[in-house]
Amino acid sequence: MRITTWNVNSIKQRLGHLLAFLGEAKPDVVCLQELKCQDAGFPREEIEAAGYAVETLGQKAYNGVAMLVRQPLRMTQVLRGLPGDPEDEQARYLEALVVGEDALPVRVATIYLPNGNPAPGPKYEYKLAFMERLRRHARRLMETEEALVLAGDYNVIPMPEDASNPEAWTEDALFLPATRRAFRALLAEGFTEAVRACDPRAELYTFWDYQAGCWQRNAGIRIDHVLLSPQAADRLVSASVQKHLRGLEKPSDHVPVTVELTAAA
């Protein structure tokens, strides 16, 4: 089972790139972030025509997450929104149990964690509160002992080697000590960070800013992560970053990250 996470930075602008990726890579599950559209505006028909079932949690002009599942796999027990704050109206979390006759079930969440800048400030406080809610929810999910995959744009640079120039990020919400501690606390619930479990190399990035020739200079950061529960980590085959998609015309500033798990029952 191949599971991909991708911040598309506007589904309407990147639909062609997404459909091409679905046709070429044929991932079984796709976790999308930063849709920048409401549910009614999501290009559901085009994606269903490509053979995928769709669940969305959209928001006008901002945020938004979606999950695509290649048929005959299907989604059950869909959860829209991260528990823990009934007043939170931002569309940042979508979860479902992915099942199929010939596949072991996997619970998957697509996550668009807040950026948090400027920090300090209310946006950073919201980021840390969201991360704590995510940790608590993840702990509850861990108790089920299911294969669990938390995939998405975490807006967290975990380590200095995850940035081409870490000194440039020392005052940024993505790299502040409290952010990195919160990410480590999530990992400490028992998760394996799939990419680093498979590839310890430096210069392994998932995001390149549109400004200052960052792509051309490979001035990137690694902020898109896939976390695996022990039951999912036991099934890990590979993890990879599809860097080449950043070189497309009018690309997203993020690229897909894909993990492969053994799927046969």
* Distance separating alpha carbons of residues 56 and 144, to the nearest angstrom: 25
Per-residue tokens: 200: 């310890």
Under 8 Å between Cβ of 195 and 158: no
Whether 254 has a binding-site annotation, put simply, is yes
Q: Please, what is the angle between helix 122-142 and helix 177-187, to 10°? A: 10
Q: What is the b/e burial string over 191-230, where b = at least 16 CB atoms within 10 angstroms of the residue's CB?
A: bbbbbbeeeeeeebbbbbeeeeebbeeebbbbbbbbbbbe
The answer to whether the annotation marks 153 as part of a ligand binding site is yes
Q: Is 155 annotated as a binding residue?
A: yes
* Token duo for residue 125: 């406080």
165 is in an annotated binding site: no
Catalytic one of 153, 162, 172, 224: 153
Decide if 112 is catalytic: yes
From the list 112, 124, 154, 205, the catalytic residue is 112
9 is in an annotated binding site: no
Token digits for 226? 């896939």
The phi-psi region of residue 77 (left if phi > 0; otherwise alpha if psi is between -120 and 50; otherwise beta) is left
Binding residue positions: 7, 34, 153, 155, 253-254
Binding residue positions for Mg(2+): 7, 34, 153, 155, 253-254
Residues with a catalytic annotation lie at 112, 153, 254
